[in-house]
Amino acid sequence: MENTRLIVLVDDSRTFSMYIGLLLKRMGFDVLPAESAEVGLKMVRVFRPDLVLIDRYLPGGDGSDLVAEIRRDGDLSGIPVVLVSASDESELAEAADQSAADGWLTKPITPYALHRVLSKTLSATDGRVRRRLRCSWNRKVKIEIGDQALLLPAVSLSEGGVYLRHRDPLPVGTEVRLILPLGEGDLPLSGRVIYQKDVFRDSLRIEPGMAILFEDVDEEILLRLRREVSEELAGDLIEEQGQEDILRLD
63 and 88 share one domain? yes
Q: What is the pLDDT of residues 203-243, one digit of tens each?
A: 556 789 999 999 999 999 999 999 999 999 999 999 999 88
List, as own/partner pairs, every contact residues 99-105 make where C-beta atoms lie below 8 angstroms and the sequence separation is at least 24, other chains included: 99/64, 99/65, 99/67, 99/68, 99/71, 100/67, 100/68, 100/71, 101/54, 101/64, 101/67, 105/53
Is residue 241 assigned to a domain? no
145 and 232 share one domain? yes
pLDDT at site 202: 60
Mean pLDDT of 125-141: 81
Query: Which among 111-125, 177-191, 198-212 has the top mean pLDDT?
Result: 177-191
61 and 155 share one domain? no
Q: Which of 87, 108, 131 finishes a domain?
A: 131
pLDDT band at 201 (very low <50, low <70, confident <90, very high): low
Could you tell me if 204 and 188 are in contact, meaning their C-beta atoms sit under 8 angstroms apart? no
Mean of per-residue pLDDT scores for the chain: 91
The total number of structural domains that make up the chain: 2
CATH number at residue 194: 2.40.10.220
126 and 156 share one domain? no
CATH number at residue 61: 3.40.50.2300
Q: What is the pLDDT of residues 11-23, one digit of tens each?
A: 999 999 999 999 9
